[in-house]
Amino acid sequence: MHILQVTPYFFPHFGGVESHVLGLSENLIKLGHEVEVVTARYSRMPETENLNGIKITRLPQWINVYNTPLVTSIKEFVRRTHADIVHVHSPPPFTERFAAKGAKEAGKPFVVTHHCDLELKGIFGNAAVMVYQNFLGDYPLKFADRVISTTESYATTSRTLWDIDVTVIPNAVDVERFNPKNDGKIIKDKYSTDGEPLALFVGRLVPHKGIGILIRSLSYTDKGKLLIVGDGPYKKWLANLVKKLDLSERVVFVGPVDDYWLPAYYAATDVVILPSTSRLEAFGIVGLEGMASGKPLILSDIPGVRDVISEKEGYIVEPLDPNAIAEALEKIWNAPEMARGMGTRGRARVEKLFSWKKVSKDVEQVFNDILAK
């Protein structure tokens, strides 16, 4: 089977969706399929590239709106593709609409994975969301042969998917790369010089990730240190907050971490936290990476994110509540045996439900069902 993946951004630009598309593509290739990715070109990236067997084509952006590339040539690219099936990852909206138009004109089967709803602040942002839901985003979803959502709770509460029949297939994680046997001693020795427990946040430093709430939570407990791995436009504001709260000795902005070292950070920490406050966080691959590494989790009680764990693998807390995070931290830090048990159960849950071996076969089955019609 020849599969065309369409995504607004792709490697080396990295976020949750990009990571998902890369992992899915690599594992579909392992199942014997030919996989091609078409995406937006930015900076000085090459127009074509081969990555781990994935043929990548980058098309020029006409304009970028709200960090959303407008690549009109995707329509013609999809229309001319020799792929058996077109798989689009959304939002942002422009990519999926152009891809849907091209697939329809070519008579190609078309699948959409809806990773999250669109949320933009301000008057213009709200207007843009309304336009997306009523005009741009509506067409691809109604035209698609199948729509995939990553969790049941997100699908049933989504303003975009409320009247769409969806198939639920979760995100996945590389259970070999992230595993409890990884060595985190170098990282542990560097940041836990006095043996204090470590908490880990991994992700872009943007408002909807809830990092400010997480930092404030340390004011409610007198132990532990927080490692923040990642970068983004919110960093200066967060750094000022740390100074204001006099937490400079307990909060470390690690910055971006090379892929090679990331598993070691999970291995070094005692708990992984995903304190997101918005529906822009529809699943939380970081949670899967933490569970695969055998670590307990603290997650916000929002649709999608809360589906990652049960109460056996960590704590689900109210979003925007720093005291709730602090209480969960203390429970984990004060009961290491219980925390290890949570980590062990989390690892087992990931192996059963969220491995790439399982998820890629589930997606493959969707494609086979469509092509068999």
- Contact yes or no for 196/190 (Cβ under 8 A): no
Per the DSSP assignment, residues forming a β-bridge with 272 are 200, 297
- Indicate if the pLDDT at residue 92 is higher than 70: no
In a domain, 213, yes or no: yes
Same domain, 207 and 329: yes
In a domain, 179, yes or no: no
Same domain, 324 and 359: no
Q: What is the CATH number of the domain that holds 254?
A: 3.40.50.2000
In a domain, 92, yes or no: yes
Same domain, 116 and 33: yes
Per the DSSP assignment, residues forming a β-bridge with 255 are 229
In a domain, 178, yes or no: no
In a domain, 180, yes or no: no
Q: What pTM, to 2 d.p., does this model score?
A: 0.87
Same domain, 199 and 110: no
Angle between helices 73-80 and 93-106 (to 10 degrees): 30
Same domain, 287 and 339: yes
Same domain, 157 and 200: no
Q: Which residues contact 304 (CB under 8 A, 6 or more apart)?
A: 116, 150, 151, 153, 154, 279, 281, 282, 283, 284
| Rounded Cα gap, residues 11 and 45, in angstroms | 10
Q: How confident is the model at residue 308 (pLDDT cuts 50, 70, 90)?
A: confident
pLDDT of residue 280: 56
The per-residue pLDDT for range 158-207, each reduced to its tens digit, is 777 777 889 999 999 999 999 999 999 999 999 998 899 999 999 989 89
Pairing of strands 297-300, 314-317: parallel
Average pLDDT of the residues in 68-80: 85
Same domain, 166 and 21: yes
Give the helix, strand, coil percentages of the chain, each rounded to 5. 40, 20, 35
CB atoms near residue 251 (< 10 Å): 22
Domain that holds residue 114: 2-172+355-371
Burial 319-348 (b: 16+ CB within 10 A, else e): bebbebbbbbbbebbeeeeebeebbebbbe
What's the token pair of residue 301?
């009680």
Q: Rounded mean pLDDT of the chain?
A: 89
In a domain, 17, yes or no: yes
The per-residue pLDDT for range 217-254, each reduced to its tens digit, is 999 999 999 999 999 999 999 999 999 999 999 999 99
Same domain, 143 and 287: no
pLDDT of residue 305: 75
DSSP 81-127: ---SEEEEEE-SHHHHHHHHHHHHHHT--EEEEE-------HHHHHH
* Maximum alpha-carbon separation in the chain: 64
Per the DSSP assignment, residues forming a β-bridge with 87 are 5, 111
- Indicate if the pLDDT at residue 64 is higher than 70: no
* Total count of domains within the chain: 2
- Indicate if the pLDDT at residue 150 is higher than 90: no
In a domain, 56, yes or no: yes
Q: How confident is the model at residue 71 (pLDDT cuts 50, 70, 90)?
A: confident
Q: Which residues contact 108 (CB under 8 A, 6 or more apart)?
A: 78, 81, 83, 84, 85, 86, 102
| Rounded Cα gap, residues 112 and 90, in angstroms | 7
Same domain, 149 and 131: yes
- Indicate if the pLDDT at residue 282 is higher than 60: no
| Rounded Cα gap, residues 155 and 96, in angstroms | 18
Q: Which residues contact 226 (CB under 8 A, 6 or more apart)?
A: 198, 199, 200, 201, 214, 215, 218, 250, 251, 252
Same domain, 117 and 255: no
Amino acid letter, residue 251:
V
Same domain, 167 and 218: no
Same domain, 102 and 246: no
- Indicate if the pLDDT at residue 135 is higher than 60: no
